[in-house]
Amino acid sequence: MTIRFASSTDPRPRLVARLIVEGSLPADLGDTVREAATASRFSGKPGQVFESFAALPNGLTRLALAGIGKPGAPDRLAALERAGGALVARFLTSGETALAIDFAESGLTADEAAAVLLGARLRGWRYDVYKTRQSADQQVSLHAVIAIDAPEGTQSLWQTEAALAEGIEFTRELVTEPANVLYPASFVDRCRARFAGTGIDVVVLTGDDLAALGMGALLGVAQGSVREARVLALRWKGRAGARPTAFVGKGVTFDSGGISIKPAGGMEDMKWDMGGAGAVAGALLTLALRKAEADVIGVVGLVENMPDGNAQRPGDVVTSLSGQTIEVINTDAEGRLVLCDVLTWVQRTYAPGTIIDLATLTGAIIVSLGHEYAGMFANDDLLASQLDAAGKASGDKLWRFPLGAAYDKLIDSAIADMKNVGPRYGGSITAAQFLQRFIDDGVAWAHLDIAGTVWADKPGTTHDKGATGFGVRLLDRYVRDVLEG
Ligand code: BES
Ligand code: MN
Ligand code: ZN
């Protein structure tokens, strides 16, 4: 979806939207439209769209009214995003190619107008590259949103929001691609292509590098797959400073469970077990495109978890890069095995002061929180409160869970330093305790379990069903408010 800016004197498309404050239909709409809207129970609530045709002075217009709620309502920006999203959802396959949004009488500020446009752009994203037989009326027709008479300053704010949208869309693309197309090496290729010319520094470790380093935990997961593992490090250095901030992502491009194989039903979902890595890549893209004044490293561990004659077995003991040994009780608890070596490597290589990892780590977090919140675990209250605030402001919401010695004890092993799973209950917490064993003293660390929020089975306000892009807005907001603020 392209967003363009125009003035009221420019030629406008046939489809024009007006933004309507709840409970006040403007008189200039004319009696017929006002009657029809009221009769259809359109009152201007956020998310409502009313469609009509009107003979206006500049020709026959396909007129859309989009509710924006009441000024001063809490979550005002979210309501405006929703209005933009609802408009695009309604007209995406309508046959119209462009939608004008008339801001002239809207009374919105620049940041409010930018929120409408962001909602419109995000809701308009679709990935139809594998659909070769769509009939004309199923195909997306709407490709442009034209902001008419947007408030002063909207266009420059939009530069920043467009960078955010690019990052979210890149994440959605990575998450949506099937595992035969997107595997460790091709994930790297796609990033290299996308990051060319952005100023992002790219470092890639291949299988031999990982073996030479001694990433035994990560390689143990990868050894059952014909797809060779990779570690990809991206650096956006928009500011010289003491210690950088690191974002770390779980990039299991397909999780069959390995020898502890998953049931067939729903296994196809495990193509998106790289959602953490996707969010990290998308966030770095956003930071580079908007030239953020921050020094951020994004590192992702990329593997495929498969069962075969060379796959690791339950009971195997592997030696992690940190030197700590791990008894692999369940080969399906593979994400923590990948992350632990990446966490050690990022600390040794870049000495970050803060680490935020994102991972589709446990089904248990979905049992706890459903699809509304991601789980947050942190060893630092300040970082937790900053992320909580970023979650609230961005809409990528977080809910904090506990950590503690009593949980940590649950992953002690009889034969090795630790085992990779705990008892049945509290599975998200014991997974986080496992990761914490790889965090050095003095490093502020948060782990975000995003298993419930990466993929949506039904459309939301700013996404269709499918990949949500969760995490990009959160990380971007954290950088804006904490690192740049
Ligand atoms: N990738 C899964 C977690 C997951 C499950 C993400 C469902 C999204 C939807 C992870 O690797 C996994 O398999 N975790 C196991 C851990 C268990 C073996 C301790 C799980 O949650 O069942
Ligand atoms: Mn698994
Ligand atoms: Zn997994």
Domain boundaries, the chain: 2-150, 163-483
Closest ligand to Cα 301 = 3
- Under the phi-then-psi rule, with left for phi > 0, alpha for psi from -120 to 50, and beta for the rest, what region is 18? beta
Q: Does 2-150 match 163-483 in CATH topology?
A: no
Using a 6 Å cutoff on CB, does residue 96 contact ligand 1?
no
Helix axes 184-195, 154-176, angle to 10 degrees: 160
Using a 6 Å cutoff on CB, does residue 335 contact ligand 1?
yes
Neighbour-count burial of 266, counting CB atoms closer than 10 A to its CB (0-12 exposed, 13-18 middle, 19+ buried): exposed
Q: Which helix (H) or strand (E) holds 87?
A: helix 76-91
- Whether the per-residue pLDDT at 58 is higher than 80: the answer is no
Residues with CB under 5 A from ligand 3 (ion): 252, 255, 273, 335
Name the pLDDT band for 241 (thresholds 50, 70, 90): confident
Centre of ligand 2 from the C-alpha of residue 334, in Å: 5
Amino acid at 231: V
The percentage of residues in the chain with a pLDDT greater than 70, rounded to a whole number, is 100
- Whether the per-residue pLDDT at 56 is higher than 90: the answer is no
* CATH class of the region 163-483: alpha beta
- Whether the per-residue pLDDT at 242 is higher than 90: the answer is no
Mean pLDDT of 430-437: 99
Using a 6 Å cutoff on CB, does residue 334 contact ligand 1?
yes
pLDDT in tens, 264-281: 999 999 999 999 999 999
User: Which atom, in ligand 1's list, is nearest to the CA of 454?
Assistant: 8
Centre of ligand 2 from the C-alpha of residue 319, in Å: 19
Mean pLDDT of 467-472: 98
- Atom 22 in ligand 1: which residue has the minimum CA distance? 363
Q: What is the pLDDT of residue 44?
A: 98
pLDDT in tens, 364-409: 999 999 999 999 999 999 999 999 999 999 999 999 999 999 999 9
Mean pLDDT of 352-373: 98
Read off φ and ψ for residue 343, nearest 5 degrees: -60, -45
Closest ligand to Cα 363 = 1
Mean pLDDT of 320-329: 99
Q: In what order do the strands lie in the sheet with 374-378?
A: 201-205, 230-237, 295-305, 245-255, 354-359, 444-449, 374-378, 398-400
Name the pLDDT band for 162 (thresholds 50, 70, 90): very high
Using a 6 Å cutoff on CB, does residue 275 contact ligand 1?
no
Using a 6 Å cutoff on CB, does residue 255 contact ligand 1?
yes
User: How do 295-305 and 2-6 pair as beta strands?
Assistant: unpaired
Say whether 445 sits in a helix, a strand or coil.
strand
Using a 6 Å cutoff on CB, does residue 449 contact ligand 1?
no
Q: Write down the architecture of domain 2-150 according to CATH.
A: 3-Layer(aba) Sandwich (3.40)
User: Which atom, in ligand 1's list, is nearest to the CA of 270?
Assistant: 1
Amino acid at 132: T
User: Which are the catalytic amino acids?
Assistant: 262, 336
DSSP codes of every residue in 168-213: HHHHHHHHHS-TTT--HHHHHHHHHHHHTTTT-EEEEE-HHHHHHH
Name the pLDDT band for 51 (thresholds 50, 70, 90): very high
